[in-house]
Amino acid sequence: MKQFFTLFLLMLGTLVMRAQNPVTWAFSSKKIADKTYEVHMKAAIQPGWHLYSQSQPEDAIAIPTGFTLAANPLFTLDGKIREVGKLEKFHDKKLDISANQYSTTVDFVQVIKLKTNAKTSLTGNVEYQTCNDERCLPPKKVNFSIAIQ
Task: Quick: pLDDT tens for 115-129.
Answer: 999 999 999 999 999
In the chain, what are the domains?
23-148 (2.60.40.1250)
Q: How many CB atoms lie within 10 A of CB 137?
A: 16
pLDDT band at 11 (very low <50, low <70, confident <90, very high): very low
What pLDDT shows up at residue 50? 96
Residue 90 or 2, more confident: 90
Percent of the chain clearing pLDDT 70 (strictly above) = 87
DSSP 136: B
Total Cβ atoms within 10 A of residue 7:
10
Kindly indicate the confidence band of residue 9, based on its pLDDT and cuts at 50, 70 and 90.
very low
Per-residue confidence (pLDDT) for residue 18, from 0 to 100: 45
- What's the half-sphere exposure (Cβ side, CA atoms, 13 Å) at 14? 6
29 burial via Cβ count (<10 Å: 0-12, 13-18, 19+)? middle
pTM of the full structure = 0.84
